[in-house]
Structure 1
Amino acid sequence: MNQSTARIGEIIDNAKISPYQIVILSLCFLIVLVDGFDTAAIGYIAPALREEWGLVPAQLSPAFGAGLFGLLIGSLVFGPIADAIGRKRVLIVSVFIFGAGTLASAYTHSIESLTVLRFITGIGLGGAMPTCITLSSEYSPARRRMIMVTLSWSGFTAGLALGGMLAGQIIPLFGWRGVLILGGTVPLLMLPLLVWLMPESVRFMASSPKHADALRKVVERITGKSWTGTTIVDDDRPAIIKSPISNLFIEGRTLRTLLLWVAFFCSLFVFYLLTSWLPTILKDAGYDIVHASRIGAMVPLGGTVGAILMALLMDRVGPYRVLAVSYLGAAAIIGATGYLMGDIYQLAAAVFLIGFGVAGAQNGLNLVSATIYPTAARVTGVSWAMANGRFGSIVGSMLGASLIAAAGTPQVLFIWLALPVLVGSVAIFALYRLSTPPRKPAPNCPITSH
């Protein structure tokens, strides 16, 4: 019998989307949802923490920064491990770490121990999210990949919004510890489901003959037909160069790389500063914890809606123009937000639009980063851009207290916050100009003299 060969990418691209793929993408969405909930939990419980422990805003900065620094470390550490031993095992370990870390945080009695546990939790969060995004991408056909990956990623911003909505209900009844107990218990309860239903990465299985039988079973569940007698292999990959980092700065890509890094830094600087500190800003402006949490939840809620609509729009008019206009509009809204503090409905609408413009565009920025570099340096280009974003998120969360104190009033603070988003818009517009080929003059164009 002749052994035929098929490529895993072509199989998934040519097959109809199966119920099995929907299950996988739904699991990824749920993991990223609880990931977002646990990432934002510290921001929503911050006002109650300050009250119970008698803290000033500056004392909360280490706890904010520790979680985000853990996210950075988790992304850097778990990525290579997942490539070596498989994504499923790393995903399960990551979910266990952030679930256990969040649950343990509910029983702390000092800001120092909370800071340590937030760092540990961040490591798990940093390992889970990119692994889920990778799995959702691998199990999505190319013709629907942008919207399907966007829907998976939107679980993160949905989790951030859910955190605010539930915190407003839980804290008055059970205190801030109730939020962390919920955020830790849910991912731990999901672990048996992940062990049972979540498959291994198809790319990982296709790259190793020992996983041939397991891969064939997964493909049969996707396509609904037998693949007995067929060897399923990974898609061809170009030769790996010695230093993929150098590919970010050659062949005219240096300026594009730097502009991309600027956009990532500015976007996540503002997003995480607002996610971490907005409930505190609103409480200081006179809102109670319930209303502060609900208004704060408008940032990620707007981001969820924005991510989906922008993914659909980018296919029609191009990503750069959509993202540049989105950041520009968000900068204008941010600058005006400080003047809307007295009206809860106008303020909630403004905060929703900030999330729509900043958090929604961030998803598109993640997708754009994968199109700038050649295949041999694509993962390096995306990961280094995201590392700059992580750095921006750490700086934003750590500087929040200092900026609040230095600004003095919400009006001044939000005008300051509009500036990084404006810089991000300019960076994206510059990327658009670099990516647009110059127009050639029409041949034989007559010159008219007057």
Structure 2
Amino acid sequence: MILSGADPVGGDDRATNIGALIDRAPWSPYQKLLLCLVSLAILLDGFDNQALGFALPHILRDWKLAKADLSMALAAAQLGMFFGAIGGGLIGDRLGRKSALVGSVLLFGVATALIGLADGPGTLAALRLCAGIGLGAAFPNVAALAAEFTPARRRSLAVVITIVCVPLGGVIGGTAASFIMPLLGWRSLFVGAGAVTLAICGLIVIALPESVRFLARSPKNADRVAAILRRMGIDPSDGLPLLMSEGCTVSEKRHSEGSIFASSLRLDTLLLWTAFFFSLMSVYAAFNWLPTLLADDGHDIVVASRGLVAFNLGGVVAALCGGWAISRFGSRVTMVTMAFAAILSAVALAFMPTATLSLPMLFTLLALEGGFINGVQTTLYALGSAIYPTSLRASGVGAATGIGRVGAIASSLLGAMVIGWGAAAGFHWSIAIVMFVVALALLGIRNHARPAVVTRAY
């Protein structure tokens, strides 16, 4: 079976090509189990990352602060994610995706738990910086693991399933926050999130193998690769050399694609960075400030928390639908359509003051806006995984994620100004404008993921 979008098969016809073996084989239960395992890391990542947004009204009240006083704490997390995403991607491509993922989950779990003991904005900002480094480093390595354990025909969907756990973690976190914080206070939210994250870290250490495509880059890993493939239900031909997943030797691949700025990748890299920058600006503006915006419009803390839940839940549904649609129609049509739908949803909220809406209508509009924004942002990881080869996948996605964090930092600072003015309509107009830029960037990318069309039966 040869699939559009699959890694090309090359080299000696007698060689066992790891990518081709995985792409031809069924998507086994063991591969799906591994996908669930790495998704747990991102689920807790999403919970931890959005916890401050849920707790912000309580922290402002307890510490008697103005909104602007915590803008640096919000920005510190994004600054950490900038360094974490870039550094984590480089570490993943050099030392292994699993090693980088374990280190990142351990760091953000410990830092998040310690936030429950913070005594002021300075301590909070320092801990959020450390948590952000761990959070950022997790994304490119999870995306690489999901892509490299999965057949090409399901690769985009697999990457989306992992990254969609960010808004899903927000759904769980918002629901938990609406019950936990009124009873136990905001500190308990961080301690609990950190403790669960550390438990997940232990599970990853025990149960998650390294990426077979990464291991196959070195001949000394042949026995490990064969053992993992057998657990996937794939029987490699004994005694044949194991090549890189793209079907050429390591030296050949490094020569032809030695950098994300190679001639064949340069334009797509820059446009992918643009899309990440502006999509994450939209997403984190909502993550950080939407509960406060709803509280300022007269809604209580329960409604404010559940408004962000609706925003995130819409993202879960739209992203999963987007991952399926990419397999069917390709990433260009799917992602550009979602970007323009996000623009229309934001414009609708700009014209409809939330204070005048019924709760069902409010939650519906927030779910649509959050759905399409998160749908675009989540599928960007699948697009990045399709653009870059194995030798550059984690660092390529990590660099794009890091650039996106600069947009998230800007959203923290500019969002504080917009909310301070009480300009709810301006908040949603800003989202519409930046999503238009995302749509233009997506239109310009050349190497979009193609539909997974079977061209020959196997």
Q: Corresponding residue for 1:29?
A: 39
Q: Corresponding residue for 2:281?
A: 269
Give the alignment partner of residue 286 of structure 1, picking from 291, 298, 313: 298
Q: Corresponding residue for 2:455?
A: none
- Residue 76 of structure 1 pairs with residue 76 of structure 2: no
Give the alignment partner of residue 89 of structure 1, picking from 79, 93, 99: 99
Q: Deviations for 1:334-362, whole angstroms, at most 9, x for unmatched residues? A: 12224241222211111100111111012
In structure 1, the residue corresponding to 2:164 is in which secondary structure?
Answer: helix
User: Greater CA radius of gyration, 1 or 2?
Assistant: 1
Give the alignment partner of residue 111 of structure 2, picking from 82, 97, 101: 101
Alignment of 1:239-250 (within 5 A): 239-240=254-255, 244=259, 246-247=261-262, 250=263
How far apart, CA to CA, are the structure 2 residues paired with 1:288 and 1:56?
A: 18
Comparing 203-212 and 264-273, the one that deviates more:
203-212
How far apart, CA to CA, are the structure 2 residues paired with 1:376 and 1:89?
A: 16
The Cα shift of 1:155 comes to 1.5
Q: Corresponding residue for 2:428?
A: 414
The Cα shift of 1:259 comes to 4.2
The Cα shift of 1:95 comes to 1.1
Q: Corresponding residue for 2:130?
A: 120
Cα 1:84/1:352, change in 2 over 3 Å? same
In structure 2, the residue corresponding to 1:238 is in which secondary structure?
Answer: helix
Alignment of 1:189-228 (within 5 A): 189-223=199-233, 225=235, 228=238
Cα 1:363/1:296, change in 2 over 3 Å? same
How far apart, CA to CA, are the structure 2 residues paired with 1:315 and 1:78?
A: 28
Q: Corresponding residue for 2:5?
A: none
The Cα shift of 1:416 comes to 3.1
Q: Corresponding residue for 1:313?
A: 325
Q: Deviations for 1:289-317, whole angstroms, at most 9, x for unmatched residues? A: 11101111222211111111112223333
What stretches of structure 2 of length at least 5 have no aligned partner?
1-13, 449-458
Cα 1:196/1:183, change in 2 over 3 Å? same
How far apart, CA to CA, are the structure 2 residues paired with 1:375 and 1:88?
A: 15
- Residue 48 of structure 1 pairs with residue 58 of structure 2: yes
Comparing 201-210 and 130-139, the one that deviates more:
201-210
The Cα shift of 1:185 comes to 0.6
Letter of the structure 2 residue corresponding to residue 328 of structure 1: F
Letter of the structure 2 residue corresponding to residue 330 of structure 1: A
TM-score where L is the length of structure 1: 0.87
The Cα shift of 1:380 comes to 6.1
Q: Corresponding residue for 1:8?
A: 18
In structure 2, the residue corresponding to 1:108 is in which secondary structure?
Answer: coil
How far apart, CA to CA, are the structure 1 residues paired with 2:17 and 2:265?
A: 33
In structure 2, the residue corresponding to 1:140 is in which secondary structure?
Answer: coil
Q: Deviations for 1:81-109, whole angstroms, at most 9, x for unmatched residues? A: 22332222222121111111100111111
How many residues are aligned here?
427
In structure 1, the residue corresponding to 2:253 is in which secondary structure?
Answer: coil
Give the alignment partner of residue 141 of structure 2, picking from 121, 131, 149: 131
Q: Is the 8 A contact 1:220 1:226 kept in 2?
A: yes
Greater relative contact order: 1 or 2 (C-alpha under 8 angstroms, separation 6 or more)? 2
Cα 1:194/1:317, change in 2 over 3 Å? closer
Cα 1:79/1:417, change in 2 over 3 Å? closer
Cα 1:165/1:18, change in 2 over 3 Å? same
Q: Deviations for 1:26-53, whole angstroms, at most 9, x for unmatched residues? A: 1011111001111111111101100111
- Residue 238 of structure 1 pairs with residue 250 of structure 2: no
- Residue 359 of structure 1 pairs with residue 374 of structure 2: yes
How far apart, CA to CA, are the structure 1 residues paired with 2:99 and 2:395?
A: 23
Give the alignment partner of residue 330 of structure 1, picking from 336, 342, 357: 342
Q: Is the 8 A contact 1:241 1:376 kept in 2?
A: no
Letter of the structure 2 residue corresponding to residue 353 of structure 1: L
Q: Corresponding residue for 1:439?
A: none
How far apart, CA to CA, are the structure 1 residues paired with 2:155 and 2:257?
A: 30
Cα 1:25/1:318, change in 2 over 3 Å? closer
Letter of the structure 2 residue corresponding to residue 366 of structure 1: Y
Comparing 293-302 and 333-342, the one that deviates more:
333-342
Q: Is the 8 A contact 1:265 1:389 kept in 2?
A: yes
How far apart, CA to CA, are the structure 1 residues paired with 2:205 and 2:396?
A: 32
Cα 1:191/1:266, change in 2 over 3 Å? closer
Give the alignment partner of residue 120 of structure 2, picking from 106, 110, 116: 110
Cα 1:383/1:146, change in 2 over 3 Å? same
How far apart, CA to CA, are the structure 1 residues paired with 2:225 and 2:385?
A: 26
Q: Corresponding residue for 1:158?
A: 168
How far apart, CA to CA, are the structure 1 residues paired with 2:304 and 2:255?
A: 50
The Cα shift of 1:381 comes to 5.3
How far apart, CA to CA, are the structure 2 residues paired with 1:198 and 1:279?
A: 36
Q: Deviations for 1:130-172, whole angstroms, at most 9, x for unmatched residues? A: 2111111111011211112211221122112221111111111
- Residue 346 of structure 1 pairs with residue 356 of structure 2: no
How far apart, CA to CA, are the structure 2 residues paired with 1:9 and 1:143?
A: 12
Q: Corresponding residue for 2:10?
A: none
Q: Is the 8 A contact 2:353 2:424 kept in 1?
A: no
In structure 2, the residue corresponding to 1:355 is in which secondary structure?
Answer: helix
How far apart, CA to CA, are the structure 1 residues paired with 2:191 and 2:61?
A: 19
How far apart, CA to CA, are the structure 1 residues paired with 2:38 and 2:258?
A: 32
Query: How high is the sequence identity, in percent, across the aligned residues?
Result: 35
Q: Deviations for 1:348-391, whole angstroms, at most 9, x for unmatched residues? A: 11110011111101223333345557888776654443333221
Letter of the structure 2 residue corresponding to residue 190 of structure 1: I
Q: Corresponding residue for 1:444?
A: none
How far apart, CA to CA, are the structure 2 residues paired with 1:122 and 1:223?
A: 37
Q: Corresponding residue for 2:414?
A: 399
Cα 1:281/1:365, change in 2 over 3 Å? same
Q: Corresponding residue for 2:405?
A: 390
In structure 1, the residue corresponding to 2:274 is in which secondary structure?
Answer: helix
In structure 2, the residue corresponding to 1:67 is in which secondary structure?
Answer: helix
Cα 1:384/1:126, change in 2 over 3 Å? closer
How far apart, CA to CA, are the structure 1 residues paired with 2:285 and 2:412?
A: 5
The Cα shift of 1:192 comes to 2.8
How far apart, CA to CA, are the structure 2 residues paired with 1:196 and 1:294?
A: 35
Cα 1:253/1:273, change in 2 over 3 Å? same
Give the alignment partner of residue 57 of structure 1, picking from 54, 61, 67: 67
